[in-house]
Amino acid sequence: ADKDVLEVEKFYQNIGGEFWVIERQGKILGTSAYYPIERGNKAVEIRKMYLLPEIRCQGLGKFLLKELEKRIAERKFQEIWIETATVLQEAVKLYESNGYQLTTGVETKRCDRIYKKVLDMKVVD
């Protein structure tokens, strides 16, 4: 497992982020997390956006993404950045269909795409 998953407090909670676990009947079905980043304007990066293959294509990814966006906006962040890889077709489709714009500046070696979305702050006021 990645180090940040093993040390959630250090890599997420202690720096103003959150790590969500989606579970049903004690079984972990997915995760998602975010934390503040320096790039952008009052920005966060979404990380660890993952659902088990058997529960994909049921609208849960979109639901989870929208819930994350609401929470991030409530906390007065203005931009969301997400890194992914072209081979993760479902992720690419999810982000592009939900208003994320392809941009530049990939920082993670295993990723080759980065998306950015500016939040509509009127939604939470």
**How far is it, in rounded angstroms, from Cα 76 to Cα 43?**
9
Which has more confidence, 125 or 79? 79
- pLDDT (0 to 100) of residue 7: 82
pLDDT tens-place string over residues 44-81: 999 999 999 999 989 999 999 999 999 999 999 999 99
Q: How confident is the model at residue 123 (pLDDT cuts 50, 70, 90)?
A: low
pLDDT-derived band at 42, boundaries 50, 70, 90: very high
pTM: 0.89
In the chain, domain spans: 3-123
The secondary structure of the chain, three-state, reads CCHHHHCHHHHCHHHCCEEEEEEECCEEEEEEEEEEECCCCCEEEEEEEEECHHHCCCCHHHHHHHHHHHHHHHCCCCEEEEEECCCCHHHHHHHHHCCCEEECCCCCCCCCEEEEEECCHHHCC
Please give the C-alpha separations between residue 94 and each of 3, 64, 65, 110, in angstroms, as whole numbers: 26, 11, 9, 19
- Residue reference for tokens 């982000």: 95
CATH architecture label of 3-123: 3-Layer(aba) Sandwich (3.40)
Q: At residue 34, what is the residue type?
A: Y
